[in-house]
């Protein structure tokens, strides 16, 4: 690498062409990079959904869910199996290890489920096996308004027209409608007429399904042509349908209209949407994995604008967006990057007072970053909080190599009086090894973190790519372009002393520490021990909660609550929220949303007791409270909502919370333990709105057949259930008869009228078919009041429940410690185990993986330095500077109240490379001075300190200046970046100050050890 600088100086045209190509590729790559909030973490996940109309969760668990879980448990690379069982639906999620081929995993799961299909109930809808294709959270939400349309027409307009337009944008995985209704033909049966005519509701539905249909009937040849045959039985209008004749017992018939009213109506609403105090119809847009959040949002907005221009009668308004804070964070990161770069350049000028040298060093930054963007594009990376954090972090480092080169060249020019060309050739060769060693030391530290396991590993992979690539290109710039520009652009200087004013005082203090070297070494050890003690006192966290300007609020009512009950609670919550000056608007989605564009309609059994509220806050500059402060202040009032559980952080992004997941095969013991833990968490300061997902009992009516009498009459349990199910809610959605419209089919739902469905005596009088006719339901079954679980959660084939609580004034690590100290957790009942979950699980993976990664990085760093120095002992001297950086980092974090979180760990990781970088500059020159200039050890160390102290301080100040905007928390998402910057600045202060003193002392100790080793082993070899 020494000769490459001389080659670049002597051959300027190829060098300039090389950097022009790299810059051009960088510009192209930057323009094509996706912009996201965080790196895409593509965990291979497959879902298996099984639907059985009217089935209770306990029945689905034993008849469906357990069988599905057992069938997939033996597949390779399965990490977690989670199941959620609600009324009529069992959903099992299989999570595979990172790196598993998702296509093969999907096929394996599909084959496993197909193998147990004969063992599943016959009346289930065919199991659906699909992989997760979207990111889980909507990027945009719109509401539509069309006064001239009815609710069902507007709903269909969203499901059909709007969905087609937006899905054509590409990279949109799905659209979900909130609010609105689905059109259907409602046959409201009169139970008295059914009794009089001797026909049941199930028989009416079955006959309509077989009669009101168009069917193919073959083909025949007429003359010379072939023609198909169709049987047209579908009614063309309601009047025709009402005149449809149904077959009764005894050869009689009756018109459908004689059994009740037939009307074109809406399905029973199972969802609703509100924008502030208005009921609206909205839709949410989800992006596919591996796509750019900002790019997809831009494309969707363009499609919506074009669609609105084509349909002026429909008003479309954007109400929520996850991309606004992403763009704010992106702009803030770019701004901090620019400010940091400017400050770093100012530092260079302050030390060198040479405008040409300053301009040359400033070129290093863009020419290091631009090729990095090209490499990131080739590796399918995105610009996100993590990669931008890494780039902002290395702003100072990117000019460090150039600073060292320029400072050395300027020093040669000033001290020797040589012209720029000669000084560049000589100085570049002199500093070459040190620059290469310092760069590869940083790469060696950062490379292992890209291989960390779990979610943290996926995040750090993007970080490692951005940092290592940019640092490598900074080396290329420093070894080729910087010497070239210095050789041709710098002006010659007259020979003069070029020593900073503070160098003599530093050298005097260094001399004292070298005389008392053992005391210096001991003081360094004490400093490290104190650092480790301080680290144990710091609060720990996963990712600091950020102010996104948008809060997500979940409201949950008790089982049995109606949609009207949920709507009333939501309206009260909206009233409380809109009273606050910080609130801009509130969008609420109640019940089960409908997937638009799939034409499946909405489930008739969706959860109507739950709602998600998205609270849009005023811009940060227009409100006094942060998002977290706002949530903490308004939570007590929301908690007063009667009969409702309210919690923030429903989107998994806003708000900080702790999760405690327990699992057991003993459902009763699990329920008692969860209740005990919940009570204790509710009484613990720091936890707010603690509540569990444990199955709440829902009221139910239980039909208990008379076995003997039912058997005598030939009435099965299935017949009783089917009769009552169709009479009260209608046939299962997939089995409903259909009515043909011009552009689609709508279901025909046969059920009793509303008055009859609300009258228990009318239900008991329903006719049940027997072998010889029909009998009243009351003659073959009794009705009892009871209760059953509303929802069952399972984890890794056992029952599970999760207790959640919002955090107030405590970090994730402190919350985990509080939970671990709860009596019920310390003395868990036999058969109940606690599973890592939520941020606590991610934090555990982060810290365990980080310890392994940083240990691997230090070992790799040792090997790299050993190869470059061709020695094993002096590289140990360089590594002794690493612990010195920790004390300053932990100290400044303690002073500023910063928690030890993922961004802070990133900063500490960076400090390892920077501390090694400073030590290499010092040790390399000392070794060179002894071998080339024949100086004794003390003189070599003093000479190295005199000539390397200024570039070390310059690079430190430049790095600190680059971090300053981040540490001050300027701009959006400052909470995430500031902890990293604080740890870096604190570590820089301690590592630079102490390494200039401590490393020379350790150098002398290791040199003595080297001499002793050579004498001992040399004499040993001579004896043999």
| DSSP state letters, 950-997 | HHHHHHHHHHHHHHHHHHTT-STTHHHHHHHHHHHHHHHHHHHHHHHH
- Which range has the worst mean pLDDT, 237-241, 281-285, 913-917? 913-917
884 with 1012, same domain: the answer is: yes
Do 529 and 582 sit in the same domain of this protein?
Answer: no
Give the Cα separation of 947 and 239 in Å (integer): 100
**pLDDT at position 596:** 54
Region of poorest pLDDT, from 10-24, 154-168, 604-618: 604-618
- Torsion angle, alpha carbons of 346, 350, 352, 357, to 10: 20
Contact (CB, 8 A) for 265 and 215? no
CA distance 53 to 729: 10
pLDDT, position 1024: 40
Q: Which residues lie across from 216 on neighbouring strands?
A: 230
Which tokens go with 645?
């559980």
Q: What is the CATH number of the domain that holds 717?
A: 3.30.2090.10
CA-CA-CA-CA torsion sign (897, 900, 902, 906): positive
Same domain, 576 and 531: no
Q: Is residue 663 packed enough to be buried (19+ CB in 10 Å), middle (13-18) or exposed (0-12)?
A: buried
Q: Please check the confidence at residue 24 and state whether its pLDDT lies above 90.
A: yes
- Helices 395-416 and 420-446 cross at an angle (nearest 10°) of 150
Domain CATH code at residue 529: 1.20.1640.10
List the alpha helices (DSSP H) in 231-384: 238-242, 293-310, 323-352, 355-378
Place of tokens 């996104």: 548
Q: Residues 1016, 1018, 1019, CA angle at the centre, nearest 5°? A: 70
Residue 657 lies inside a defined structural domain of this protein: no
Q: Tokens 């239900």 map to which residue?
A: 763
* Structure-token match 């095969």, residue found: 665
Confidence of residue 572 (pLDDT cuts 50, 70, 90): very high
- pLDDT for the residue numbered 601: 41
| Banded model confidence at residue 604, pLDDT cuts 50, 70, 90 | very low
From 754, 789, 824, give the residue that closes a domain.
789
Exposed/middle/buried for residue 4 (C-beta within 10 Å: 0-12, 13-18, 19+)? middle
**Beta carbons of 81 and 797 less than 8 angstroms apart:** yes
For residue range 273-295, what is the model confidence (pLDDT) as tens digits? 999 888 899 999 988 877 888 88
Facing residues of 321 across strands?
Answer: 140
Helix segments in 482-614, DSSP class H: 482-489, 503-515, 517-537, 563-578
Q: What is the pLDDT of residues 731-788, one digit of tens each?
A: 777 778 888 887 788 888 888 888 887 788 888 888 888 887 788 888 888 888 877 7
> What does R_g of the chain's alpha carbons equal in angstroms?
36
The C-alpha atoms of residue 729 and residue 189 are separated, in whole angstroms, by 12
| Lowest-pLDDT range of 27-31, 429-433, 554-558, 700-704 | 429-433
Residue 944, C-beta contacts closer than 8 angstroms, at least 6 positions apart: 922, 923, 925, 926, 929, 1000
Distance CA(261)–CA(258), nearest Å, equals: 8
Whether 963 maps to a domain, the answer reads yes
Same domain, 883 and 1007: yes
Q: How far apart are CA 630 and CA 636, in angstroms?
A: 11
Residue 544 in contact with residue 899, Cβ under 8 Å?
yes
When pLDDT is cut at 50, 70 and 90, the band that residue 655 belongs to is low
- Residues near 647 by Cβ (< 8 Å), separated by ≥ 6? 553, 554, 657, 689, 691, 804, 806
Looking at 630, 652, 674, the residue that finishes a domain is 652
Structural domain count of the chain: 3
> Which pLDDT score, from 0 to 100, does residue 67 have?
92
459: enclosing H helix or E strand: helix 454-476
SS3 for 583?
strand
Please list the alpha-helical segments (H only) found in 619-694. 627-638, 667-682
- The predicted model gives 631-652 an average pLDDT of 83
- Say if residue 252's pLDDT is above 70: yes
**Strand 745-752 with 183-189, pairing:** parallel
How many whole angstroms separate alpha carbon 34 and alpha carbon 381?
8
Mark whether 529 and 631 lie in a shared domain. no
Instruction: Say if residue 576's pLDDT is above 80.
Output: yes
Kindly tell me if the per-residue pLDDT of 1021 is higher than 60: no
The Cα 138–Cα 285 span in angstroms is 5
> Strand 792-795 to strand 798-807: parallel, antiparallel, or no bridges (unpaired)?
antiparallel
Helix axis angle for 355-378 and 395-416, nearest 10°, is 150
Same domain membership, residue 1013 and residue 889:
yes
Position 434 in a domain: no
Q: What is the average per-residue pLDDT within 877-888? A: 80
Distances (CA, A) of 533 to 537, 676, 881, 891: 7, 35, 18, 11
Residues 643 and 758 in one domain: no
Residue 795 has pLDDT above 80, yes or no: yes
Give the per-residue pLDDT at 263: 87
CA pair distance 696, 789, nearest whole angstrom: 6
pLDDT in tens, 288-332: 877 888 888 888 998 989 988 898 888 889 898 888 878 877 787
Q: Which range has highest mean pLDDT (68-77, 393-402, 855-864, 935-944)?
A: 68-77
% of the chain with per-residue pLDDT over 90: 5
pLDDT, position 605: 44
Q: Do 969 and 901 lie in a common domain?
A: yes
Q: CA-to-CA distance for 182 and 440, rounded, in angstroms?
A: 63
pLDDT, tens digit, 9 for 90 and up, residues 155-173: 888 888 888 888 888 788 8
The pairing of beta strand 225-232 with beta strand 214-222 = antiparallel
Tell me whether residue 506 is in a domain: yes
Count of Cβ atoms closer than 10 Å to residue 375 Cβ: 20
Decide if 720 is inside a domain: yes
Direct distance between the N- and C-terminal alpha carbons of the chain, in angstroms, rounded to an integer = 40
Express the helix, strand and coil content of the chain in percent, nearest 5 each. 55, 20, 25
Check: CB of residue 292 under 8 Å from CB of residue 382.
yes
Q: DSSP assignment, residue 401?
A: H
| Residue 6 forms part of a structural domain | no
Other C-beta atoms within 10 Å of 236: how many? Answer: 10
SS3 544: coil
Q: How far apart are CA 270 and CA 675, in angstroms?
A: 30
Say which CATH number the domain at 598 has: 3.30.70.1430
Task: Answer yes or no: is 1008 within a domain.
Answer: yes
* pLDDT > 50? residue 182: yes
**Residue the block writes with tokens 């093969």:** 104
Instruction: Give every CB contact of residue 956 below 8 A, 6+ residues apart in sequence.
Output: 914, 918, 988, 992
Q: How many CB atoms lie within 10 A of CB 10?
A: 12
Asked whether the predicted pLDDT for residue 403 surpasses 80, the reply is: no
Percent of the chain with pLDDT over 70: 93
Co-location of 740 and 776 in the same domain: yes
Backbone φ and ψ for 758, nearest 5 degrees, come out as -95, 0
Q: What is the full DSSP assignment across 657-672?
A: EEEEEEEES-HHHHHH
Residue 254 pLDDT more than 70?
yes
Q: What is the pLDDT of residue 570?
A: 92
Burial class for 856, CB neighbours closer than 10 Å (0-12, 13-18, 19+): middle
CB 653 within 8 A of CB 553: no
Rounded distance, CA 787 to CA 698, Å?
A: 5
Kindly report the number of other CB atoms within 10 A of residue 250's CB atom. 7
Highest mean pLDDT among 8-12, 106-110, 707-711: 106-110
Mean pLDDT in the chain? 81
Query: Considering 751, 770, 789, which residue would you say is the last residue of a domain?
Result: 789
891/991 same-domain check: yes
- DSSP summary character for residue 695: P
pLDDT at 602: 42
Q: Let me know if residue 459 belongs to a domain.
A: no
φ, ψ at 262 (rounded to 5°):
-115, 125
559 and 522 belong to one structural domain: no
Contacts of residue 349, Cβ cutoff 8 Å, sequence gap at least 6: 355, 357, 358
Which range of residues forms the domain containing residue 606? 546-652
Same domain, 585 and 616: yes
pLDDT of residue 598: 45
Q: Model confidence at 695, in pLDDT bands (50, 70, 90)?
A: low
| pLDDT band at 356; cut points 50, 70, 90 | confident
* Rounded Cα gap, residues 315 and 295, in angstroms: 24
Closest CA to 365 of 348, 381, 379, 344: 344
Residues forming beta bridges with residue 698, ordered by sequence position:
788
């Amino acid at each position: 690498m020494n000769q490459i600088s001389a080659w670049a100086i002597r051959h300027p045209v190829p060098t300039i062409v090389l950097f022009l190509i790299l810059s051009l590729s960088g510009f192209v790559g930057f323009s094509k990079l996706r912009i996201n909030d965080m790196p895409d973490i593509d965990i291979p996940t497959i879902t298996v959904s099984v639907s059985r109309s009217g089935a209770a969760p306990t029945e689905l668990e034993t008849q469906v869910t357990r069988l599905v879980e057992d069938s997939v448990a033996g597949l390779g690379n399965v990490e977690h199996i989670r199941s959620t069982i609600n009324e009529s639906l069992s959903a099992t999620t299989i999570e595979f290890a990172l790196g598993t081929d998702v296509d093969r995993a999907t096929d394996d799961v599909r084959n496993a489920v197909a193998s147990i299909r004969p063992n599943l109930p016959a009346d289930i809808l065919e199991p659906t096996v699909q992989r997760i294709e979207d990111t889980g959270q909507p990027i945009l939400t719109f509401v539509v308004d069309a006064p001239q349309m009815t609710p069902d027409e507007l709903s269909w307009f969203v499901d059909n027209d709007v969905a087609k337009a937006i899905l054509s944008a590409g990279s949109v995985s799905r659209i979900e409608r909130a609010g609105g209704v689905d059109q259907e033909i409602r046959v409201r049966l009169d139970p008295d007429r059914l009794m009089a005519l001797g026909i049941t509701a199930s028989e009416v539905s079955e006959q309509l399904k077989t009669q009101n249909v168009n069917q193919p009937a073959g083909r025949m040849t007429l003359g010379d042509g072939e023609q198909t045959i169709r049987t047209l039985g579908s009614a063309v209008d309601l009047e025709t349908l009402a005149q449809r004749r149904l077959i009764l017992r005894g050869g009689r018939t009756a018109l459908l209209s004689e059994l009740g009213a037939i009307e074109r109506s809406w399905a029973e609403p199972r969802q609703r949407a509100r924008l502030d105090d208005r009921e609206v119809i909205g839709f949410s847009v989800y992006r596919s994995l591996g796509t750019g959040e900002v790019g997809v949002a831009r494309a969707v907005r363009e499609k919506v604008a074009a669609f609105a221009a084509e349909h002026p009668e429909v008003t479309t308004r954007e109400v929520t967006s996850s991309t606004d804070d992403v763009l704010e964070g992106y702009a803030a990161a770019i701004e901090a990057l620019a400010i940091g770069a400017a400050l770093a350049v100012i530092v260079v000028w302050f030390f060198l007072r040479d405008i040409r040298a300053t301009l040359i060093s400033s070129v290093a930054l863009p020419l290091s970053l631009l090729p990095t963007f090209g490499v990131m594009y080739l590796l399918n990376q995105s610009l996100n909080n993590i990669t931008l954090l890494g780039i902002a972090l290395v702003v100072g480092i990117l000019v460090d190599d150039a600073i060292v080169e320029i400072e050395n060249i300027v020093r040669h020019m000033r001290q020797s009086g040589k012209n720029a060309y000669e000084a560049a050739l000589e100085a570049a060769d002199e500093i070459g090894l040190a620059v290469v060693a310092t760069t590869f030391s940083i790469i060696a530290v950062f490379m292992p973190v890209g291989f960390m396991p779990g979610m943290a590993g996926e995040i750090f992979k993007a970080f490692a790519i951005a940092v290592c690539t940019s640092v490598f290109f900074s080396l290329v710039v420093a070894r080729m372009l910087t010497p070239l520009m210095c050789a041709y652009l710098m002006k010659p200087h007259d020979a003069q002393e070029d020593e900073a004013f503070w160098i003599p005082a530093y050298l005097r203090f260094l001399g004292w520490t070298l005389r008392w070297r053992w005391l210096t070494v001991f003081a360094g050890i004490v400093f490290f021990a104190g650092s480790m003690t301080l680290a144990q006192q710091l609060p720990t966290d996963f990712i600091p909660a950020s102010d996104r300007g948008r809060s997500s609020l979940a409201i949950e009512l008790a089982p049995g609550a109606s949609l009207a009950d949920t709507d009333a609670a939501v309206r009260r919550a909206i009233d409380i929220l809109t009273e606050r000056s910080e609130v801009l608007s509130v969008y609420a989605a109640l019940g089960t949303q409908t997937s638009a564009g799939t034409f499946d309609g909405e489930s008739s059994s969706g959860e109507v007791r739950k709602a998600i509220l998205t609270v849009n806050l005023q811009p940060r500059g227009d409100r006094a409270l942060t998002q977290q402060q706002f949530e903490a202040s308004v939570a007590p009032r929301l908690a007063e909502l009667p009969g409702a559980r309210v919690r923030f952080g429903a989107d998994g992004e806003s708000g900080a919370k702790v999760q405690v997941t327990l699992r057991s095969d003993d459902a009763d013991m699990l329920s008692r333990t969860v209740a005990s833990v919940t009570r204790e968490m509710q009484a613990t300061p720091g936890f707010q709105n603690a509540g569990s997902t444990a199955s709440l009992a829902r009221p139910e009516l239980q039909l208990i057949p008379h076995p003997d009498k039912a058997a005598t009459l030939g009435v099965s349990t299935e017949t009783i259930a089917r009769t009552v199910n169709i009479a009260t809610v209608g046939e299962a959605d997939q089995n409903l008869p259909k009515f043909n419209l011009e552009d689609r089919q709508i279901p025909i739902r046969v059920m009793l009228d509303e008055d009859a469905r609300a009258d228990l005596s009318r239900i008991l009088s329903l006719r049940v078919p027997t072998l010889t006719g029909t009998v009243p339901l009351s003659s073959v079954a009794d009705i009892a009041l009871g209760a059953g679980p509303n929802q069952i959660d399972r984890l890794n084939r056992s029952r599970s429940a999760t207790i959640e609580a919002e955090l107030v004034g405590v970090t994730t690590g402190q919350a985990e410690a509080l939970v671990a100290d709860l009596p019920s957790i310390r003395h868990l009942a036999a058969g109940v185990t606690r599973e890592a979950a939520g941020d606590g699980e991610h934090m555990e993976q982060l810290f365990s993986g980080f310890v392994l990664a940083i240990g691997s990085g230090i070992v790799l760093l040792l090997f790299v330095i050993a190869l470059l120095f061709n020695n094993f002992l002096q590289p140990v001297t360089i590594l002794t500077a690493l612990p010195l950086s920790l004390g300053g980092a932990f100290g400044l974090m303690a002073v500023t109240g910063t928690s030890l979180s993922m961004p802070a760990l990133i900063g500490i990781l960076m400090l390892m490379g920077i501390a090694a970088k400073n030590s290499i500059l010092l040790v390399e020159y000392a070794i060179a001075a002894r071998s080339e200039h024949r100086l004794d050890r003390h003189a070599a160390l003093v000479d190295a300190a005199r000539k390397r102290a200024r570039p070390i301080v310059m690079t430190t100040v430049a790095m600190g200046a680059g971090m300053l905007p981040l540490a001050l928390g300027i701009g959006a998402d400052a909470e995430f970046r500031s902890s990293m910057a604080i740890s870096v600045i604190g570590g820089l202060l301690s590592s630079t100050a102490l390494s200039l003193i401590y490393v020379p002392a350790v150098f002398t100790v290791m040199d003595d050890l080297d001499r002793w080793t050579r004498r001992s082993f040399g004499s040993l070899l001579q004896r043999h």
